[in-house]
């Protein structure tokens, strides 16, 4: 592999030590503009290069060819000198990185270079980086064994380990973007809810999976996902670990479908061995409110001025109907109507809990509203018409004011607003979902209502005890609103809930409002004094510029009159 170079004749006055020569390497390269040199590397030369690099003295890039080992190159660069092996085979040139000089000794780099040349010249292709690292470990182990510091056999190094060809399929980031685009198309077609698409995107883009972005999905296995899941469990994020495992299975199942198989390179069943961690203690963490707590929440929502009208009406409807919070906050004004033939009663045509397509599948979910509930809903809708007019279709519009420079396009209040408000009420530990538990348990235990009838109100009527499941004709073909089954449940709930609300003891209105504000600030982690000062400044600037909600509303009303006079 190349013998030792014979030294030439020495000249008088010239210093031939490697150390002295190396000190002049930078000056020679800078003066002559040469980018490549050939001479025999030595340990002294390497140590001087390492010292110069660590001291930040290397400013240029150059390459040294080692004449003692065929193919060995040392590339000098500011970010660190690196050993390379340069070899030609079958009219092709290969340049293989060995490693940095602070990790490889000169002797080991020469051995590795010879092994790489043999690996390529024997027709086995360029060796992988893992194989080169195994070589380094074996050299270190052999030296340690000679010194008596190692007794085991050392790492196993296969004879050949060719580098994998570059993948032409999707990376994880590309596959995720394609999957989310498909989900959005399904959402636009009405097959998926927007919240579902948002949730999938957040899970697949979480920090625990971010290291996979540049990796090809065809080379991601169950072990990679299991490692991420295990890391989340160690960090105490068991719920997120459960979401990651379930969503990755769903994601890779989509990648393995025939429509994506060629672009992804993923085969079916690759994630079958991934197991979601068990969510221990979930039932123990569930809160079952008492009837008195439900009455306290309802009484707070009814107290004028304690809550924002839209938020108070949403809390009121949540206690009365026990529907999921997404169904409540996305309610439209047009979804509420009187119940013809039943004086004092109203109907709420509830947005379906799953997808718009399911809502249109012939199974409408309509909830009868007893007179105590319907009276409050009617009063709120009258206020809504005066406050918003035709500006929004949402029954519970967002409470943040729109910017003066943008068109007024209100959306509904956030789901978290409903949850945080309910839990901020003094004496309440409940969430909107807890109202489902108190309604179901109370009307069954105290009023003797059958679970199947309660299921119709809670939109859980498709269980084994439900009437729809028991009757195939009813389940598949009827478009009946099942009001006859739902009315007894709501009547029983009104008989129990109204006395509980009347018996609730509340703080005086001003004290209650101040306590609600304080608790909401604690939930958001806001310094109340600083936030109050900030809001004063914002309000003062908005008023000075005529941008407050009342000023804009007044200007909008005056505009037609001014136009008519002109």
> Is 58 among the domain residues?
yes
CB atoms within 10 A of CB 434: 23
Last residue of a domain, one of 284, 308, 330: 284
Q: In what order do the strands lie in the sheet with 72-76?
A: 36-39, 62-66, 72-76, 82-89, 92-100
Q: Measuring CA to CA, which residue among 155, 153, 152 is closest to residue 132? A: 155
Show which of 262, 284, 306 is a domain's final residue. 284
Note whether 374 and 344 are within 8 A (CB).
Answer: yes
CATH number, residue 106: 3.30.160.390
Looking up tokens 């105590």 gives 372
Let me know how long the chain is. Answer: 566
Q: Could you tell me if 36 and 135 lie in one domain?
A: yes
Asked, for residue 161, whether it belongs to a domain, the answer is no
User: Do 322 and 408 reside in the same domain of the chain?
Assistant: yes
SS3 for 7-76 is CCCCCCCCCCCHHHHHHCHHHHHHHHCCCEEEECCCHHHHHHHHHHHHCCCCCCCEEEEECCCCCEEEEE
Q: Which domain holds residue 50?
A: 18-146
Confidence of residue 15 (pLDDT cuts 50, 70, 90): very low
pLDDT surpassing 70 at residue 502: yes
Asked if 480 and 334 sit in the same domain, the reply is yes
The predicted model scores a pTM of 0.55
CA–CA separation, 111 and 523 (whole Å): 64
Q: Which residues contact 356 (CB under 8 A, 6 or more apart)?
A: 190, 193
The answer to whether position 153 is within a domain reads: no
The average pLDDT across 429-449 equals 92
Q: Roughly how many angstroms between the first and final C-alpha of the chain, as a whole number?
A: 99
Asked if pLDDT for residue 394 goes beyond 70, the answer is yes
Query: 448 phi and psi, to 5 degrees?
Result: 70, 30
- Name 82's bridge partners: 75, 100
**255 and 370 co-located in one domain:** no
Tens digits of per-residue pLDDT, 74-133?
A: 998 888 899 999 998 888 888 999 999 888 999 999 999 999 999 998 888 899 989 999
**Tokens describing residue 87:** 């070899």
pLDDT digits (tens, 9 = 90+) for 280-337: 655 555 788 899 999 999 999 999 888 999 999 999 999 999 999 889 999 999 999 9
Residue 469 pLDDT class (50, 70, 90 cuts): very low
- Asked, for residue 1, whether it belongs to a domain, the answer is no
CA 497, CA 442: separation in Å to the nearest integer?
Answer: 10
Phi, psi of 343 (to 5 degrees): -60, 135
Do 440 and 493 have their domain in common? yes
Does 486 share its domain with 417?
Answer: yes
Task: Based on the fold, state whether residues 418 and 485 are members of the same structural domain.
Answer: yes
Same-domain check for residues 104 and 192: no
Task: State whether 490 and 543 are in the same domain.
Answer: no
Q: Is residue 546 part of a domain?
A: yes
The answer to whether 167 touches 265, Cβ cutoff 8 Å, is yes
Do 193 and 46 sit in the same domain of this protein? no
| Residue 407: other Cβ atoms inside 10 A | 6
Q: How confident is the model at residue 150 (pLDDT cuts 50, 70, 90)?
A: confident
Evaluate whether residue 11 is within a structural domain: no
Using one digit for the tens of pLDDT, what is the confidence trace for 244-274? Answer: 999 999 999 999 999 999 999 998 999 999 9
- Compute the distance between CA of residue 206 and CA of residue 224 in angstroms, rounded to an integer: 15
405 falls within a domain:
yes
Domain boundary among 130, 146, 162: 146
Structural domains counted in the chain? 4
User: Is residue 104 domain-resident?
Assistant: yes
Instruction: Mark whether 350 and 455 lie in a shared domain.
Output: yes
User: Residue 482's domain is classified under what CATH number?
Assistant: 1.10.443.10
504-555 pLDDT, tens digit per residue, is 999 998 899 888 888 888 877 767 677 777 778 888 888 888 878 788 878 7
DSSP 82-127: EEEEEEEETTEEEEEEEEETTTS-HHHHHHHHHHHHHHIIIII-SB
pLDDT at 170: 92
Shared domain check, 309 and 452: yes
């Amino acid at each position: 592999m190349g013998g030792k170079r014979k030294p030439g004749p020495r000249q008088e006055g010239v210093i031939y030590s490697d150390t002295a020569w190396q000190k002049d390497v930078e000056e020679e390269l800078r003066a002559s503009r040469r980018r490549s040199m050939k001479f025999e590397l030595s340990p002294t030369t390497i140590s001087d290069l390492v010292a110069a690099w660590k001291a930040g003295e290397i400013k240029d890039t150059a390459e040294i060819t080692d004449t003692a080992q065929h193919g060995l190159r040392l590339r000098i660069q500011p970010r660190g000198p690196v050993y390379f092996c340069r070899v030609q085979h079958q009219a092709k040139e290969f340049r293989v990185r060995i490693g940095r000089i602070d990790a490889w000794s000169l002797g080991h780099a020469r051995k590795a270079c010879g092994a790489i040349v043999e690996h390529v010249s024997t027709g086995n292709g360029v060796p992988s980086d893992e194989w080169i690292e195994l070589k380094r470990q074996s050299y270190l182990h052999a030296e340690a064994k000679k010194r008596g510091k190692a007794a085991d056999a050392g790492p196993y190094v296969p004879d050949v380990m060719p580098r994998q060809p570059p993948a032409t399929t999707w990376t994880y980031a590309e596959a995720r973007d394609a999957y989310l685009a498909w989900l959005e198309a399904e959402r636009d077609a009405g097959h998926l809810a927007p919240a579902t698409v948002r949730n999938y995107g957040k899970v697949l883009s979480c920090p625990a999976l971010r290291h996979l972005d540049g990796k090809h999905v065809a080379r991601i296995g169950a072990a990679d996902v299991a490692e991420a899941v295990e890391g989340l469990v160690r960090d105490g994020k068991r719920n997120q670990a459960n979401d990651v495992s379930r969503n990755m299975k769903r994601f890779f199942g989509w990648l393995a479908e025939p429509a994506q198989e060629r672009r992804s390179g993923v085969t079916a069943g690759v994630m079958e061995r991934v197991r979601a961690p068990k969510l221990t203690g979930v039932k123990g963490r569930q809160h079952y409110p008492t009837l008195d707590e439900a009455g306290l929440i309802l009484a707070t929502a009814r107290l004028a001025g304690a809550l924002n009208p839209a938020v108070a009406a949403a809390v009121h409807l949540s206690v009365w109907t026990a529907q999921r919070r997404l169904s409540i906050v996305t309610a439209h004004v047009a979804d509420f109507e009187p119940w013809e033939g039943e004086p004092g009663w109203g109907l709420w045509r509830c947005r379906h809990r799953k997808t718009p397509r399911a809502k249109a599948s012939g199974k409408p979910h309509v909830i009868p509203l007893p007179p105590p509930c319907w009276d409050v809903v009617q009063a709120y809708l009258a206020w809504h018409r005066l406050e918003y007019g035709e500006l929004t279709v949402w029954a519970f519009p967002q409470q943040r004011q729109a910017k003066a420079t943008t068109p007024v396009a209100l959306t509904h209040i956030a789901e978290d607003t409903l949850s945080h408000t309910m839990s901020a009420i003094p004496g309440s530990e409940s969430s909107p979902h807890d109202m489902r538990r108190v309604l179901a348990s109370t009307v069954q235990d105290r009023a003797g209502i059958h679970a199947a009838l309660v299921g119709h109100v809670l939109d859980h009527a498709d269980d084994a005890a439900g009437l729809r499941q028991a009757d195939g004709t009813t389940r598949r073909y009827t478009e009946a609103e099942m009001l006859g089954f739902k009315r007894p449940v709501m009547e029983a709930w009104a008989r129990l809930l109204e006395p509980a609300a009347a018996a609730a003891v509340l703080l005086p209105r001003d004290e209650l409002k101040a306590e609600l504000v304080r608790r909401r600030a604690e939930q958001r982690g806001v310094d109340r004094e600083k936030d109050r000062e900030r809001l004063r400044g914002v309000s003062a600037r908005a008023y000075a510029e005529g941008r407050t909600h009342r000023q804009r509303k007044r200007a909008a009303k005056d505009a037609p009159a001014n136009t008519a006079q002109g």
